[in-house]
Amino acid sequence: MNKLKKILFLVVFLFSSIFLWKAVSSVNINRFSCTSQYGECSNPVREKINVLGQCNLLDCKKKLNQAFSEVWMVDKYSWQIKIPLEIEVRVLEKKPVYSIRTEKDNFFVQIDADGLVLDSKPESNLPGFSVFSDIPKPGEKVTKEQLNALRLIMGVSEIQEIENVKYENGQLFVNLKDGIRLLLPTGGDRDFILGALTLILNELKKTNDDSKIGLEEVKEIDLRYNNPIIR
């Protein structure tokens, strides 16, 4: 008898769960909220969510999956149902680390650590460089050479304050705020180049009588060759 009761209980529980799931799934939802690690979701993400319209739970899940497969700045996301009839979406947005400015159109694209262009803006204070050529659009990746250049500029910015940077023919032309111009390759070893630059600047900053040349006398440091050239 006890065994029969258990079987009946399981059957009732199973059918009740199926009925409840179908009832919830069939309810239409037309309210969505979206937050990221920075607070409110960015405009491109909100725009994708705002056009979802009314949908039941299963359709909403499909629509969210489709929407976020088209939003390149989202690393991952989760969602849950809130009462009354609202879906709360939480996203982890990719973080811009670098920027490239196009001289031709005078705007910036912001780029994550892996070289993916996330968005375009009229201004950006992220480290990067200017180019005269066309640049990748949001959702595209910069070239390997450009990414190496961006990583190198990030390292230089941690050593000295930068005024501006231009990238041309695979080379970097960096104007420092203290008036020195750096000529840097983009294909060499980043750590070696930064180490050499640090060593040279430290030597030039010495004020003892043994120094042959002082920092104030230097106009240019060229690290494109095996032996650095100081002018």
Taking 3-state DSSP, the helix, strand and coil percentages for the chain, each rounded to the nearest 5, stand at: 35, 30, 35
- Residue 59 has a pLDDT of 82
Token pair for residue 80?
């849950």
Do both 102 and 172 map to the same domain?
A: yes
Residues 87 and 115 in one domain: no
Q: Can you give the C-alpha Rg of the chain in angstroms?
A: 28
- Assess whether 77 and 186 both reside in one domain: no
Q: Residue 141: which domain range?
A: 98-230
Longest dimension (CA), the chain: 103
Burial class (CB in 10 A: 0-12, 13-18, 19+), 60: buried
pLDDT at 32: 86
Does residue 216 share a domain with residue 127? yes
Residues 152 and 222 in one domain: yes
Nearest to 225 by CA among 185, 180, 192: 185
Q: What's the structural domain count of the chain?
A: 2
Cis, bond preceding 136 (omega within 30 deg of 0): no
pLDDT at 6: 62
C-alpha dist (Å) from residue 209 to 200, 202, 230:
17, 15, 19
CA distance 149 to 36: 30
Task: Note whether 70 and 157 are same-domain residues.
Answer: no
- Residue at which a domain ends, from 61, 93, 125: 93
Tell me whether residue 15 is exposed, middle or buried, using C-beta atoms within 10 angstroms of its C-beta: 0 to 12, 13 to 18, 19 or more.
Answer: exposed
Per-residue pLDDT of the chain (231 residues; tens, 9 = 90+): 566 666 665 655 565 555 555 555 556 777 888 999 989 898 888 888 888 877 877 788 888 888 888 888 898 899 888 777 788 999 999 999 999 999 888 889 999 999 999 988 899 999 999 998 888 899 999 999 999 999 999 999 999 999 999 998 889 999 999 899 999 998 888 999 999 999 988 888 775 555 556 667 888 999 998 888 888
pLDDT of residue 72: 86
The dihedral sign for the CA sequence 87, 92, 97, 102: negative
pLDDT of residue 162: 94
Residues 27 and 89 in one domain: yes
